[in-house]
Amino acid sequence: MSLICMNIRLVLRSDTMFSSGHSTPGGEDIALRLDQDGMPFLPGATLKGLLRESVGDCLRWTGEDPAALTALFGQEGWQSGDASPDLTAGPGGPPGDPARRLIFGDLRLEEGQTDWEITRTFTALEDQVVKTGTLRTASCLRKGLVFRGMLFCDQRDARLIQDGCAALKWAGLLRNRGFGQIQVTADPAGPLAHRPALSPTSCLRYRLKLVTALNVPQYRRSAGGWHELNYTDTRQYLPGSAVRGLLLSTLAREQPDWFAAHKAQLLGDGVRFLDALPVSEGQAAVPAPMGFYEDKGETHFYSVLTRREVLPQDKRAKLGSFCTLEAGPKGPLLRGCSPKTAAALRMRRGRTPEEKQVFSANAIAPGTVLEGYIQLDDPGLAPALSAAFYDWAWLGADKFAGYGLCRVAEVAPAQGRYGAPFGFSDGDQIPSELYMMLLSPTTMARAGEPVGLDEEALADLLALPPCGPGQKRLEITGCATAAAEQVGFNTTWGCASPAEVMYAPGSVFQLKCAAPPSLAALRRLEQTGLGLRRGEGCGQVLFLKDYPRYQKYRETGRPAASPLAELRRARCRWLLETPVPGGLSNSQLGTIQALCERAMAQKGDLGDLRAFFDHNIKDKGARNQARYQAFREAFDKLMERPLAETLEVDRCPDGPVERLKLVCDWLDLSRKKVGR
């Protein structure tokens, strides 16, 4: 396997629509696909579809083996979990050659290009006449824009990928009307490099930065009854089992002898791949502790483990999915956080027309940073595991369709793991009443059967001394928990992993010990974990030092939105709140809009517009004069005032053309309103 990176450059040779698949309420009928910062992009899944068709044409034209198409792009219509007709992929694995499968990233707008959007209008014809009620508006990308991205391929396929990119000519919607003409080039950027091997250590820390959206669904899309759903959600973290699969498959492929000699250790509980959790304010977050309540005014904040009674008017506290800890004047402050997620329309193609289905898939947004740990009982395994990381990684579902591409930002030795600010430090006095929070799904077993938490086994793990007759060394006196089914899927063998019902991350248990445990015992249990499936990251616990004293962080202001997103909101707000004066008919407004678009094409020349207004105000009677006079006053005010002042924003692109674009959108919206 010799993966290389290909830099992709896409130039728009005509106006183009990279559509989002839906319209904007109160705005255009065809909206552009925008990222979380309000910038246009071409998803990797769309690039894959375009390139698949183009490479297939190239293979037919040159007479090469058509099986290369399946090797590169996978079998069309295949669903994970189906039996594979290609035995080279393993029982139930994706058909084709895994070493040749292409990895796609999104194509994003090149920096420095700001004036990228233009609005176009369309109508349908009936008997050579405009059909009533068919006026539609669409947001387009301007001709000449440049998008850049990357894909990863095997070195032997580089020339075929270059030829396939060069053959791409069209993308987006309304190609039959001249939109979407493109030019694409692909240039090799060099082979992928492994991260350097680190010295032996008992804990590795890695950080991943998402380049494309990451989708880690709770269940398989091929499972029974999935066809009844039209939406899939994602976990808001990366399970440790996914990272384990990535690294162990790399070691098995590239170092088969070493992997065979250490396979039992790598797959056992002596190597624990902890979940990768989101980083907030530079600190790795932990699951938000359960059991906290607050009143509707959010004036007081408490836990049911300390108060025991919930007031009727109170509700569960809003902490988000994860939280970090920081110092506060009255006690430690819990700052809640959740990674940004975004939904996109997807197509489940299937193998028959009846299986085709459009659905919405939620995913963690690009730019999110995830931090995870690998704990090792044998430090000698650290060099091989650290060197198994490439500079790039692809994880989660749909990783061959433009999802889950990550930049490996860091792999380094670590003294501890996430959650250190919540735990006990050297010199702290350990009380006999402890609060234990679960960082990952957890259940213990007795005689081979899951039992939740086993008090006696937990007392042994904490090395508590024996007690007299009738006394318990450890007792769970309270808890705030939720249950979750831990599931997984083995892509190599095409079957689901055994499911276990476990306590969910964030569950908190109040433990009463007959004698305080030692700090060494707490840290040992935090290091090794407890219960089942610890090698996959399950069973991780954290003993909270200041749980009864936690306060909730209060936001003092909203986070600043990106300038482009703020500008779009300001435009929509102005368009929706500003009525068109004068009572002009739809046809009269359409004539004014046509003259505005002509003025835009003439770089802001308003001569024809002013002549039109003068004619209707002076030569068409008093009633017509009143209507046009009111509109002209509003129009002149718009054209004379700075656009930033009109939209009430700090700054924005301005000029006669930008102001005319706002007028055109204003007229478009006025003709769509019900009741005109």
The whole-angstrom separation of Cα 380 and Cα 384 is 8
Please list the residues that pair with 515 across neighbouring strands: none
> How large is the average pLDDT for residues 425-431?
90
- Please state at what angle helix 240-254 crosses helix 256-267, rounded to 10 degrees: 150
Is residue 94 scored above 50 in pLDDT? no
The whole-angstrom separation of Cα 160 and Cα 49 is 16
Q: Predicted confidence band at 197 (pLDDT cuts at 50, 70, 90)? A: very high
Q: Predicted confidence band at 83 (pLDDT cuts at 50, 70, 90)? A: very low
- What confidence tens digit (pLDDT) does each residue in 509-552 have? 999 999 999 999 999 999 999 998 898 889 999 999 988 889 88
Tell how far CA 397 is from the center of its chain.
12
Cβ atoms of residues 74 and 67 within 8 Å: no
Please list the residues that pair with 576 across neighbouring strands: none
The whole-angstrom separation of Cα 363 and Cα 344 is 8
- pLDDT for 586 equals 83
How much of the chain exceeds pLDDT 90, in percent? 29
Q: CB atoms < 10 A from the CB of 498, how many? A: 10
Is residue 85 scored above 50 in pLDDT? no
Q: CB atoms < 10 A from the CB of 377, how many? A: 14
- pLDDT for 385 equals 94
- The answer for residues whose C-beta is within 8 angstroms of residue 126's C-beta and 6 or more apart is none
- pLDDT for 261 equals 93
From residue 288, alpha-carbon distances to 435, 504, 530 in Å are 14, 11, 20
Q: CB atoms < 10 A from the CB of 364, how many? A: 27
From residue 123, alpha-carbon distances to 132, 138, 143, 596, 661 in Å are 9, 11, 22, 18, 19
- pLDDT for 75 equals 73
> How large is the average pLDDT for residues 220-241?
70
The whole-angstrom separation of Cα 563 and Cα 651 is 9
Give me the DSSP letters along 138-157: EEEEPTT-EEEEEEEEEGGG
Tell me which long-range contacts 30-36 makes (C-beta under 8 A, separation of at least 24): 30/136, 30/137, 30/138, 30/139, 30/173, 31/139, 32/117, 32/139, 32/140, 32/141, 35/108, 35/342, 35/365, 35/366, 36/340, 36/342, 36/365, 36/366, 36/367
For 568, phi then psi, to 5°, come to -65, -40
Give me the DSSP letters along 582-627: T---HHHHHHHHHHHHHHHHTTS--HHHHHHHHHHHHSS-HHHHHH
Q: What is the mean pLDDT of the chain?
A: 83
> How large is the average pLDDT for residues 121-139?
74
Question: Does an H or E element contain 520, and which?
Answer: helix 519-528
- pLDDT for 27 equals 62
* DSSP classification of residue 135: -
Cβ atoms of residues 360 and 346 within 8 Å: yes
- The answer for residues whose C-beta is within 8 angstroms of residue 659's C-beta and 6 or more apart is 638, 639, 643, 646
- pLDDT for 76 equals 64
